[in-house]
A and B are shown apart, each in its own frame.
Chain A
């Protein structure tokens, strides 16, 4: 079974530029998550999708961050414009919902550096 795929693995941009990250979840996993992990901290959930609908985006800074999952499979996370404090690893995870808490499988992450 192929794991969660993410690209790019690394990205360096200057502040005020835009950036987009891509995630392909495990086949058959309806739930997809984006996390932000700042150096020295644990992952923090930004947004959760169930198929192509948003379940929770309460911690997504909506003035600059956006995410979509149009066909209920792949997802993109965008930052526009980026700030220095957005430097972090962005993790994508997926799970298949069964009514109870399901194991989340994580991708390798995208390391973003904002200069």
Chain B
């Protein structure tokens, strides 16, 4: 069975400091990984996906198949990054997403 683990429920970081939100997954095939974000009073929305290899709002994430990880990183945190972040996994062949439990990121001014 596929599973996504986000070990940190809460993470506080000072503005300007680096951010790393951890995500580990278990899956037997070839997964596709995503990060979703939910800002206060807004909808859940896609932040980035590993297949795109993009940097969105300064965030990047690299899929490490050896460590089965997909950590989200940003070199310099901004106050507007405060939000709930969910890591999610999809198995190729269908559209089903499996979400982690989420990490609430708070940026301290």
Residues of A within 8 A of B (CB): 3-4, 31, 33, 40-45, 48, 55-56, 91, 95, 97, 101-109
> Can you list 26 contacts pairing A with B, beta carbon distance less than 8 Å?
A3-B43, A40-B9, A40-B101, A42-B86, A42-B88, A42-B99, A42-B100, A42-B101, A42-B102, A43-B44, A43-B86, A44-B99, A48-B95, A48-B96, A55-B94, A56-B94, A56-B96, A91-B44, A97-B95, A101-B90, A101-B92, A101-B95, A102-B95, A104-B97, A105-B45, A109-B43
Determine if A45 and B44 form an interchain contact, defined as CB atoms under 8 angstroms apart. no
A102 to B43, CA, bound (A): 17
**Is the pair A43, B99 in contact by a Cβ cutoff of 8 Å?**
yes
- Given A56-B96, A101-B92, 12 extra CB contacts under 8 A: A3-B43, A31-B95, A41-B102, A42-B4, A43-B44, A55-B95, A91-B44, A101-B95, A105-B45, A106-B44, A106-B45, A107-B43
CB of B96 within 8 A of CB of A104, answer no
**Interface size on B (CB < 8 Å)?**
21
| CB atoms of B4 and A108 under 8 A apart | no
Q: Cβ of B43 and Cβ of A41 under 8 Å apart?
A: no
CA distance A105 to B46 in the complex (A): 8
Question: Is residue B54 within 8 Å, beta carbon to beta carbon, of the partner chain?
Answer: no
A104: chain B residues within 8 A (beta carbon): 46, 95, 97
